[in-house]
Structure 1
C-alpha cells in the first residue's frame, strides 16, 4: 500500500508580497503621510484684509495709515484704516481684537497690554501743541511776556481748555501733566477741561469758544499749520519741557524751530519748546508675521520728513511702552530676505511658508526613493529564491529510490501550479534572464517527475 504523502505548503507564486508595485506604493504612502503631518506646521497664508486703527480724521495718524495702505495695496493686501478718537481707543480696540494693528502714543499703554500685544516700530515724535488765544489770557497772568517767551503750562489756569476727546492720547497726556503740576484734582479746573479734540477743538479755539486747545500731532498736519497761521492764536512754548521729560521718560523735549513748518510764511514765528511722546506701531501677538513684516518695511521705506528732533532717530525700536516683537526686530535689523527681494510678495510668502515641507522631502522621501531600487532587487530575488527552494525540495525527493507514486503525482501537480504562478507574475525586464531560467528549471523538473512516474507505473 502506498504511503500517504506528507502535507505540502501551497505555492507562493504571484501571491508573494513585496513586489515593485508594493514597494513604490509604500514609499508614496509614507511620503504622503510625512507631508500631511508636516503640513500641520505650515503657517497659514497671509490675510487678504488687514485693519489698522489710526486716529482722528485729518490727523497725522490718518496720513501715516494712508501711506501704509498704499504699500499694502502694491502687495495685493487691503489695509483698512479705522478712524478713532486716538491712542486710548486704539489700545482698547486692539485688546478686544477689533483691529490687527494700531498707531499709538507713548505713555498711554494700559496695564497688562504686553500680555496680548507687541510693539513693532517707533514712527516719530508727535509734539504736544498747546495753542491759546492771545486775548483770552489775563494781562496779570502773562505780565509783560511776549508769545515767544517760554511759559509754564499752569499759565493757562482758569481758561476753558480743549484737552482731547475721550479715548485720545492727547487727553491722557494733558491730564498726566496737570497731575504733575498738582492741578488735575482741582474741581474748578476740571470744569474747564473740555472733551474736544481734532477739528472740533480747532474750530472751537478759532471761534473763541475755548481759550486754549491741546493736540498731540505732527507739525506737518494741516490742522497745525492752520492754527500756526491763524491771527490771534499762539503756540505755548513750554518752559518746563526739560523737567517733565526727566520725570516722564516716555517724553522727549523737542524744539520746533522758527520757520521750519513753512519758511515762506515763517511758521512758527519763533522757536517753540515742547514735549513729545513717541508714536509707534503695535500689533496683536497673533497677527500674521507677514503683516508685521509689511508694516515694518512700510515705515522703513517711508520718506516722511521729521520737523522735530535730529531727523535720524526714526524709525526705531526704542521708545515703546511694551516689549518689541522678535519678528519685528528681525525684519527691522535684517530687512526683507532674498525671496522677498526677487519675487512678488505672494510668491515669496508661499515659498517661505512651505519651506518646512523640505524637511520630510530631505529626511524621508528622497532617502526612500534612493533605496527603492535596492529594495526592488531584494524583493525580486527573494521571490525567485523561494520558488527555487520548492524546486530543491522536489529535486531532493527525486534523489531517493523509495518515493511513493502519490508523492510523485503531488510533486507534478505542485510543479504545474508553480509554473502557472511564475508565468502569471509580472517581472521587470532586468530580471527576465533569471525569470526564464527559472521556467526552464521548472520544465526540467516536470520532465524528471514524469519519467519517474512512467518507470513507477
Structure 2
C-alpha cells in the first residue's frame, strides 16, 4: 500500500497534478459536449473557494493554462465546497464546474451533479492554544472554536466530525471564521481553537504549523472516523515533512481528512 504521506507532497508537485487532472477533465467534458451539442463549450464557469485558500490559487492557474487553448474559465469566488455544491444544484446559477469534497453531496438533491475527478486529500487541521496536549475532538467541549464560514470545507467536514463527538452549539462556541481570519483570532486569544480543511500550503495552515505558541491536535482515534464515515480517511504527517529544515512537525501526527473533488452539472442540452 502506498504510504499516505505522499499526500503531503511539495506544492509545486501537487499543483502540477491538479492542473493535469483538470486539463484531462476539461478534455473529457469537451468530448461529451461534442456529442451532445453542435460545438464543445469555449466558456466554463468554475466555482472555486475563499480568496485566501488554495482552491482560489488553483482556479487562477486553470484560467491561465486553459486560456492558451482558447478556453475561457470564469471563476466564481465562493465560501468553498459546500457553496459550490449548492451552486451546481441550482440551474439558475450559471456554474458549470466546481470544487467539492467528500461527504457533501447527498441524494436525491445532488442527482444531477457528477464527480469528474478526485484531486487530492485535504486534512482537517485543529490548532489550539491549550497548554495541554489534545488528542480527542470532544476535548473542544465548552471552548470557543473557529469552525469556518458557512459553505466552507472546514464547516462542511467539521459538522460531521462534531456530530460524532456530541459537539453542538449548546456545548461549544462555534465562531464562523475561516483561514486567515480564524488564524488571527486564534493567535490573539479570541478563540481557543481553529479548524482548517485545506493543504499544508494554505497560508493560515503553514503559519500555524510554524507558530510555537500553537499546538496541532493529533487524532488518537483517527481510524475510528474512517470506520464510521467512509468518506473520511486517516492521514499520517511524518516528522519534518512540512519543513525539514525546521523539523516541522517534530513528531508524527495522525490526522483525518477527505478528498477534494471536481464536480460538474450533468446536462444533455446547452445551458
The bucket for the TM-score relative to the shorter chain is: 0.7 to 0.9
Q: Which position in structure 1 is the counterpart of 2:245? A: 264
| Alignment equivalent of 2:186, drawn from 195, 201, 205 | 205
- Residue 106 (1) aligns with residue 102 (2): yes
CA contact (8 A) 1:100 1:287 kept: no
CA contact (8 A) 1:241 1:275 kept: yes
Aligned partners of 2:269, 2:47: CA distance in 1, in Å? Answer: 16
- How far is 1:222 from its partner? 2.1
Aligned 1:69-88 pairs, distance under 5 A: 69-88=63-82
- How far is 1:75 from its partner? 0.6
Pair 107,128 (structure 1): closer, same or farther in 2 beyond 3 Å? same
Q: Which position in structure 1 is the counterpart of 2:222? A: 241
- How far is 1:168 from its partner? 1.7
Aligned partners of 1:216, 1:288: CA distance in 2, in Å? Answer: 35
Aligned 1:316-327 pairs, distance under 5 A: none
Match of 2:249, SS state, is: coil
Unaligned runs of 5+ in 1: 1-40, 136-141, 290-457
Q: Which position in structure 1 is the counterpart of 2:32? A: none
- How far is 1:287 from its partner? 8.1
Match of 1:64, SS state, is: helix
Aligned 1:49-448 pairs, distance under 5 A: 49-97=43-91, 98=93, 99-135=95-131, 142=132, 147=133, 151-184=135-168, 187-189=170-172, 192-286=173-267
Match of 1:90, SS state, is: helix
Q: Which position in structure 1 is the counterpart of 2:4? A: none
CA contact (8 A) 1:134 1:232 kept: no
Deviations 1:150-186 (A, max 9, x none): 71111222210011101123112222112112223x6
RMSD: 2.0
Aligned partners of 2:188, 2:40: CA distance in 1, in Å? Answer: 48
Aligned partners of 1:287, 1:171: CA distance in 2, in Å? Answer: 33
CA contact (8 A) 1:261 1:267 kept: yes
Aligned partners of 1:287, 1:125: CA distance in 2, in Å? Answer: 31
- How far is 1:200 from its partner? 1.2
- How far is 1:58 from its partner? 2.1
Q: Which position in structure 1 is the counterpart of 2:10? A: none
Between Structure 1 and Structure 2, which shows a larger proportion of helix residues?
A: 1
Q: Over alpha carbons, which structure has the higher Rg? A: 1
- How far is 1:203 from its partner? 1.3
